[in-house]
């Protein structure tokens, strides 16, 4: 290794970088962690291991100013009597000072010759000539490699090549040269730079709103744990790119994002069929993304009208739900087969998994993707509305019509979206036997694909035909085919693949043909589908007997329908083989991935499980061994799917139709009555099927809605000269060959989203049972992917079709309108306003009435149109609505801080241009970019605060983090920014030049210790009124009323009288304004009813104290591994083992047994998780109890077949289930109250002095019932209490007592309710902070308490202290709530639970 390093070192032999272990070597265990050791190289030289920074050359310009003890401590080395450029790191210093303090720029190693494209400042510091252009700055040759999407090169003139001034570091799997603190900060550095300085501010603002909707939670992705930057900014860039684009593109990019795939655990998810085939293990698709993309990203929980109001079921009076768990389970199968891309160069790479690329869009694997039909929203299958693949095959050369798409393959003919043997393109001996379809030079198709002129081509990555092409040359093979696959462009050696448009197959069909592959797999195929290859035999028997493939097909691998195969054989006097030949006449040039047509007969059976789901089984001739039948359609298949069963009145063709309910109620007997058998693998009902196709619409004047109920789509018939168009009225047109209404007629309508739809007038039904016997029927289910030979093209089409289910859902527009309005300052948008935005989204355009300007491209889903409607509609711009008490919103906490910086013209120090925060903003104020705490973002859109807003049934999402501790923290940070600049003194968020050590030297208006400051100045001639008016405009949009403006002018004048300093006077006005409700909300507050009452002093209690502590394990906590059936009646233990499978506790692990014989449980003994011995001991000592079988069940008869009607709770939404856990009021008997809030209310009424405390955030758990006499809950930070506005002794002005309280006096009923929420939280939070701080300071934890605890330990430490001081707080019954995150185990459930326990 050392010799290798010596050889590769460019200019110096003094220092070598060695990375271990190298490929093919491993570290000896005894050497790990060693340092200062010596190595002798092969030439006899001796080298000593040193610190990586040894002999490194640095620019110390910044460190001179940052040194804790002042600049002289560094300057002495160059300015003293014995100047030197070599510095020795003091042995007395901890190495953290070197790693974390920063302030230096690495230039290279001593002795190296380095060509540096330096930024102006650094070049001048070094006394070098400054480059005058990019070309002059770039002096080294560079290679080209793809970066992250839309990545641009650094601007070297702006310092883009220097760390800390535009360039960023990236740790790799082999080395880390930058501290964790800096790596963690980089993505926020980038975000702040763009947010404050980018010219496209509205785009950045929309991106921020979208990022809070389509959330990545850092705790759930490895990129955060590995402190990566690029993965996060690349994901965020999706929203920047498409802020004014189309939301459909956002949904697709998010779906393919490896970050989202990891967070919601569908990356590497595999189909049930694949896992069963490979491992003989039953596993179902992961449901996380399938649920969240509906609930959080697109349509929400309840059906909505266009104006956002929820649809009510007239029979039950309840809201109509958008989906059930059936839809979640079906869509979950769609997200199987997603896999991460392989690692590659030029992107940040620190992932543990070798194949985990966190930046590039995921790829799809057709083999592991589920192939079954998928029944989705509104009773639509994925594939409904698409033409049948058999209809596409019957069209005249669809590949030459406008819209046909071709993808460039380059010099290799290996397809990317289609399947064929790799040897056809990679093996020279095979390639010579492959006939490729060649596009004749000079033809119209050649002109389109060549793309050049003058005999040269300019090939494009994707070519989509913009017009219909003709092809009439009898000698051109392209003119004779139905559908191409791979095409060579003339003799160029360049290939394209044709991407057939999406189409659907019907799962059940008649007259099936037995198919045989050269790999000896067999299956049954629909003869009308162009999915087989041709092999011809003499007289229909024996093995294939074709001497030259070119005499039968136009190119190798050509697919065709059965009738075309028959015609092809007849041209040579041959016939499609009757038997099932498995040999290949052309040796290794045959395609074994797809079957060849035979005349063998076969059929499609339905396997029905006890829940009414169906699986497809192919019945082949008896001579085919079961082992050779494709496992996806073999009798032991586990690939069940939902079907739409028809009731007795809608069944087709049977004289004794029955409902599926009647069938399932007496499954065994009815299975026999239908003439079905029991399959040998699962003992389930295996039935013959009859497909019945009928004319769906008989009326010659159908309505648009009737046409849209047709499920089979059609190819656009307008370019088909054989079709006659007839206008039927009602917005419906019909196409047919003779003008008559038949099953083959095609209807044309425009749906409610403005999309033209084509529907074929056919209804396809599957009947089980004969005509004269009992029968059940269901709609013939479409599927987009072949059961037996999937093509990647069709997998991509299926994902696209599913995304369209969400995108074109009636909820999509109002859902997104409400979410965006909330992020832009209107928490409760009116129905009219939502309708305006929804209309703009659907129509893709918005016309501004005042300017006459139109926005948007006229395409459904246009974000630009929605944003324009949101910002330009009269409800967004009317100042009159500022006086509506219910209008507006509480601003987001982080945006308040950011708005202060922007409004006061904040600038960073030239030597430290990037903003780095000294605090964890997510913990401090509840919000920070890239730090969303859960998939629900920072706050719930439906959150209702426990105050006047909540009482008025108004939501206030931001109020979820409007707590006393967070209010005090945010206010302290903003006050510090105003008074001292971007510093960390007195609660500031910045990093001061002395890291806050010399806090006693801070003076209001002196920013000498700050790395950035506000540059706003009103001018030397500005009066008090001028200053107040301008700052009111900048900070409150002019919403301050005359009374508050008068108070502010008085502050300015009094400061001038006391100090004579205009700057300090201005600063005091700024301090005052940010305390007002008008700064924190976008509405007007009328605080005119006098001072808010001070907290009442507590009377110490002498009663015995008791407390309840509620610890919420947030996420999808899995209790089935905590409390496990052990000795039970019936088959409960067997059921547990069967359902839990590999993630359940084994017999050996169920060793902590507890007795439950005295309970009414079905088990006399339960087992606890083996890592919970303390829980076991507490139970055995009588100090712990379990509440089993409790929760959201509304009745004892509720099960998975009737839960939808039996409980009002949305069982398949985390936020709903978590809320119900906290509330425990399934019958809504005390609406709005929580379980501990009701307990406190009862105890209060019984004469106890109660007190409720929650850690960090408000919670429904402590919400009291209406008219409760119990005190309001108190919110305490897990970090204790922080005093408000601690300040230097020299500062005279006290913002809280001098004016803050007055600005937040009590308000009347016509004042902003959002403003009132702020005022109560601010004034109450400041008062509570002082009280709680004093109480916590007086309490101490025992010696047994961890000194460096975090998470739950830290929170329970605060609870313990609060319990100690409860007597002085005057309470004898306490209610505490806290939470612990990280229990939403999307994968590795058993291992993660073990670690948690």
Average pLDDT, the chain: 87
Integer Cα distance of 867 and 863 in angstroms: 6
pLDDT band at 1257 (very low <50, low <70, confident <90, very high): confident
H or E segment and range at residue 423: helix 423-426
pLDDT band at 107 (very low <50, low <70, confident <90, very high): confident
Beta bridge partners of 364: 338
pLDDT of res. 138: 36
Interacting residues of 1130 by C-beta distance below 8 A, sequence separation 6+: 1162
Q: Give tens-digit pLDDT for 43-101.
A: 777 878 888 788 788 877 767 767 777 777 777 777 666 677 777 777 667 776 776 66
The lowest-confidence range among 19-33, 552-566, 925-939 is 19-33
pLDDT of res. 941: 94
Read off the pLDDT of each residue in 769-780 and give the average, rounded to a whole number. 88
Number of neighbours of residue 671 by Cβ within 10 angstroms:
19
| DSSP symbol at 1298 | I
pLDDT band at 645 (very low <50, low <70, confident <90, very high): very high
Interacting residues of 1007 by C-beta distance below 8 A, sequence separation 6+: 980, 981, 983, 1013
Q: Give tens-digit pLDDT for 361-385.
A: 999 999 999 999 999 999 999 999 9
pLDDT of res. 772: 77
Integer Cα distance of 600 and 621 in angstroms: 7
Number of neighbours of residue 1341 by Cβ within 10 angstroms:
15
Name the range with the highest mean pLDDT among 429-433, 587-591, 1123-1127, 1256-1260: 1123-1127
| DSSP three-state, residue 686 | strand
pLDDT band at 1381 (very low <50, low <70, confident <90, very high): confident
Higher pLDDT, 1159 or 794: 794
Q: Give tens-digit pLDDT for 587-607.
A: 556 787 888 888 889 999 999
Q: Give tens-digit pLDDT for 958-1007.
A: 999 999 999 999 999 999 999 999 999 999 999 888 887 888 899 999 99
H or E segment and range at residue 758: strand 756-760
Q: Give tens-digit pLDDT for 1165-1178.
A: 999 999 999 999 99
pLDDT band at 550 (very low <50, low <70, confident <90, very high): low
Please give the share of the chain, as a percent, with pLDDT higher than 70: 89
Read off the pLDDT of each residue in 434-463 and give the average, rounded to a whole number. 88
pLDDT band at 141 (very low <50, low <70, confident <90, very high): very low
| DSSP symbol at 1143 | G
1108's tokens: 């309840």
The lowest-confidence range among 3-7, 234-238, 967-971 is 3-7
Integer Cα distance of 942 and 38 in angstroms: 64
State how far the alpha carbon of 376 is from the alpha carbons of 777, 821, 1050, 1198, 1276, in Å.
19, 28, 65, 24, 45
pLDDT band at 580 (very low <50, low <70, confident <90, very high): low
Is there a cis peptide before residue 931, judged by omega within 30 degrees of 0? no
Reported residue count of the chain is: 1397
> Token pair 């409902």 is at which residue?
659
Beta bridge partners of 693: 764
Segments in 441-581 forming alpha helices (H): 444-450, 562-570
Integer Cα distance of 335 and 330 in angstroms: 10
Interacting residues of 511 by C-beta distance below 8 A, sequence separation 6+: 527, 601
Read off the pLDDT of each residue in 400-412 and give the average, rounded to a whole number. 93
Report how far Cα 905 is from the mean position of its chain's Cα atoms. Answer: 34
| DSSP three-state, residue 47 | strand
Residue 9 scores a pLDDT above 80: no
| DSSP symbol at 997 | T
pLDDT of res. 1229: 81
Q: Give tens-digit pLDDT for 482-527.
A: 899 999 999 888 999 999 999 999 999 999 999 888 777 889 999 9
H or E segment and range at residue 62: helix 61-66
pLDDT of res. 791: 95
């Amino acid at each position: 290794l050392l010799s290798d390093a010596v050889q590769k070192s460019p200019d110096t032999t003094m220092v070598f970088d060695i990375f271990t272990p190298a490929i093919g070597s491993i570290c000896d265990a005894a050497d790990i962690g060693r340092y200062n050791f010596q190595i002798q190289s092969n030439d006899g030289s001796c080298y000593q291991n040193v610190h990586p920074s040894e002999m490194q050359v640095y620019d110390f310009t910044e460190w001179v100013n940052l040194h804790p003890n002042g600049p002289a401590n560094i300057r002495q080395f160059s300015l003293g009597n014995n100047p030197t450029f070599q510095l020795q790191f003091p042995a007395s210093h901890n190495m953290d000072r070197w790693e974390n303090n920063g302030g230096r720029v690495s230039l290279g190693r001593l002795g190296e010759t380095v060509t540096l494209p330096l930024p102006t400042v650094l070049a001048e510091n070094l006394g070098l000539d400054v480059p005058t252009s990019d070309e002059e700055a770039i002096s080294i040759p560079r290679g080209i490699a793809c970066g992250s999407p839309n990545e641009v090169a650094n601007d070297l003139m702006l310092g883009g090549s220097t760390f800390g001034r535009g360039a960023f570091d990236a740790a790799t799997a082999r080395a880390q040269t930058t501290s964790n603190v800096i790596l963690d900060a980089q993505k926020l550095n980038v975000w702040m730079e763009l947010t404050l300085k980018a010219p496209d501010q509205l785009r950045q603002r929309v991106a921020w709103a979208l990022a809070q909707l389509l959330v990545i939670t850092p705790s759930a992705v490895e990129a955060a744990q590995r402190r990566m930057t690029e993965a996060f900014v690349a994901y965020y860039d999706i929203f920047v790119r498409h802020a004014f684009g189309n939301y459909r593109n956002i949904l697709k990019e998010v779906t393919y994002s490896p970050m989202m795939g990891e967070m919601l655990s569908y990356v590497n998810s595999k189909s049930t069929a694949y896992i069963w085939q490979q491992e003989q293990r039953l596993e179902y698709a992961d449901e996380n993304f399938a649920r969240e993309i509906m609930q959080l990203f697109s349509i929400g929980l309840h059906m909505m009208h266009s104006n956002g109001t929820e649809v009510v079921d007239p029979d039950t009076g309840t809201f109509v739900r958008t989906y059930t768990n059936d839809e979640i389970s079906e869509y979950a199968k769609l997200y199987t087969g997603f896999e991460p891309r392989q690692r590659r160069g030029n992107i940040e790479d620190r992932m543990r998994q070798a194949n985990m690329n966190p930046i590039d869009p995921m790829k799809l694997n057709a083999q592991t993707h589920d192939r079954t039909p998928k029944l989705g929203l509104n009773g639509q299958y994925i594939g409904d509305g698409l033409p049948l693949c058999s209809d596409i095959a019957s069209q005249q050369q669809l590949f030459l019509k406008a819209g046909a798409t071709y993808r460039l393959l380059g010099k290799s003919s290996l397809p990317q979206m289609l399947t064929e043997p790799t040897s056809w393109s990679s093996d020279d001996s095979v390639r010579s036997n492959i006939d490729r379809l060649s596009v004749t030079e000079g033809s119209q198709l050649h002109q389109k694909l060549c793309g050049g002129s003058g005999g040269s081509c300019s090939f494009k990555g994707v070519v989509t035909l913009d017009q219909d092409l003709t092809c009439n040359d009898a000698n051109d093979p392209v003119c004779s085919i139905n559908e191409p696959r791979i095409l060579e462009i003339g003799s160029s050696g360049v290939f394209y693949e044709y991407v057939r448009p999406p189409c659907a197959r019907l799962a059940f069909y008649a007259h099936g043909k037995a198919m045989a592959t050269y790999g000896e797999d067999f299956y049954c195929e629909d003869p009308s589908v162009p999915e087989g290859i041709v092999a011809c035999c003499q007289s229909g028997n024996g093995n294939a007997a074709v001497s030259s493939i070119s005499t039968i097909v136009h190119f190798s691998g050509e697919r065709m329908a059965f009738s075309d195969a028959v015609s092809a054989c007849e041209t040579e006097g041959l016939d499609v083989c009757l038997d099932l030949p498995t040999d290949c006449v052309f040796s290794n040039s045959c395609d074994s991935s797809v079957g060849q047509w035979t005349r063998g007969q076969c059929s499609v059976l339905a396997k029905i499980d006890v829940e009414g789901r169906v699986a497809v089984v192919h019945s082949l001739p008896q001579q085919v061994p079961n082992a050779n039948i494709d496992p996806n359609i073999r009798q032991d298949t586990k690939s069940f799917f939902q079907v739409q069963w028809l009731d007795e009145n809608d069944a087709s063709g049977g004289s004794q139709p029955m409902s599926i309910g009647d069938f399932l109620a007496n499954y065994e007997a009815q299975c026999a009555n239908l003439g079905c058998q029991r399959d040998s693998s699962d003992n389930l009902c295996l039935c013959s099927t009859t497909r019945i196709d009928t004319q769906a619409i008989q009326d010659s004047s159908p309505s648009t809605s009737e046409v849209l109920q047709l499920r089979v789509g059609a190819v656009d018939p307008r370019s088909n000269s054989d079709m006659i168009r007839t206008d039927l009225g009602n917005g419906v047109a019909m196409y047919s060959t003779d003008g008559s209404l038949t099953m083959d007629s095609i209807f044309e309508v425009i749906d409610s989203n403005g999309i033209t739809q084509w529907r074929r007038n056919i209804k396809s039904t599957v009947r089980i049972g004969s005509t004269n016997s009992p029968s059940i029927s269901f709609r013939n289910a479409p599927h987009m992917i072949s059961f037996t030979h999937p093509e990647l093209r069709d997998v991509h089409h299926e994902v696209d079709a599913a995304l369209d289910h969400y995108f074109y859902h009636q909820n999509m527009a109002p859902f997104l309108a409400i979410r965006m309005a909330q992020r832009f300052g209107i928490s409760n948008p009116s129905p009219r306003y939502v309708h305006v935005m929804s209309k703009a989204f659907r129509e893709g355009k918005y016309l501004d009435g005042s300017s006459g300007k139109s926005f948007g491209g006229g395409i459904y889903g246009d974000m630009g149109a929605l944003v324009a409607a949101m910002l330009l509609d009269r409800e967004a711009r009317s100042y009159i609505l500022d006086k509506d008490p219910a209008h507006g919103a509480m601003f987001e906490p982080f945006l308040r801080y950011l708005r202060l910086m922007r409004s006061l013209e904040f600038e960073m120090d030239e030597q430290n241009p990037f903003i780095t925060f000294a605090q964890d903003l997510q913990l401090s104020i509840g919000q920070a970019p890239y730090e969303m705490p859960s998939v629900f973002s920072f706050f719930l859109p439906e959150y209702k605060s426990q105050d006047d807003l909540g009482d008025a049934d108004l939501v206030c999402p931001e109020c979820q983090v409007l707590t006393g501790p967070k209010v005090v923290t945010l206010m302290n940070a903003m006050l510090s920014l105003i008074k001292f600049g971007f510093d960390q003194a007195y609660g500031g968020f910045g990093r001061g030049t002395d890291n806050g050590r010399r806090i006693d030297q801070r003076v209001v208006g002196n920013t000498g210790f700050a790395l950035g400051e506000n540059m706003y100045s009103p001018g030397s001639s500005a009066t008090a009124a001028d200053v107040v008016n301008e700052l009111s405009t900048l900070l409150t949009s002019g919403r301050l009323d005359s009374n508050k403006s008068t108070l502010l002018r008085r502050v300015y004048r009094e400061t001038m009288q006391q100090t004579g300093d205009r700057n300090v006077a201005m600063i005091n006005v700024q301090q005052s304004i940010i305390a007002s409700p008008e700064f924190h909300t976008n509405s007007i507050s009328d605080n005119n009813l006098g001072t808010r009452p001070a907290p009442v002093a507590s009377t110490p209690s002498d009663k015995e104290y008791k407390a309840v502590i509620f610890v919420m394990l947030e996420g999808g906590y899995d209790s089935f591994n905590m409390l496990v059936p052990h000795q039970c009646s019936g088959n409960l233990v067997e059921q547990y083992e069967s359902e839990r499978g590999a993630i359940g506790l084994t017999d050996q692990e169920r060793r902590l047994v507890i007795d439950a014989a005295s309970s009414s449980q079905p088990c006399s003994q339960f087992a606890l998780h083996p890592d919970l011995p303390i829980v076991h001991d507490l139970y055995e000592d009588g100090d712990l109890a379990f509440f089993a079988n409790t929760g959201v069940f509304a009745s004892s008869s509720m099960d998975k077949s009737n839960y939808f009607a039996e409980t009002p709770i949305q069982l398949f939404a985390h936020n709903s289930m978590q809320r119900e856990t906290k509330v425990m009021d399934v019958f809504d008997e005390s609406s709005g109250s929580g379980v501990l809030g009701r307990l406190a209310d009862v105890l209060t009424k019984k004469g106890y002095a109660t007190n409720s405390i929650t850690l960090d955030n408000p919670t429904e758990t402590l919400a009291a019932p209406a008219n409760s006499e119990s005190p309001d809950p108190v919110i305490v930070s897990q970090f204790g209490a922080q005093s408000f506005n601690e300040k230097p002794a020299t500062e005279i002005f006290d913002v809280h007592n001098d004016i803050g309280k007055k600005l937040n006096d009590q308000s009347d009923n016509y004042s902003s309710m959002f403003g009132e929420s702020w005022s109560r939280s601010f004034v109450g939070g400041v008062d509570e902070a002082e009280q709680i701080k004093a109480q916590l300071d007086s309490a101490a934890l025992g010696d047994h308490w961890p000194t460096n605890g975090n998470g739950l330990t830290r929170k329970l430490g605060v609870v313990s202290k609060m319990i100690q001081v409860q007597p002085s707080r005057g309470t004898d019954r306490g209610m505490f709530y806290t939470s612990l995150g990280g229990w939403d185990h999307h994968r590795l459930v058993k291992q993660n639970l073990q670690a948690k326990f």
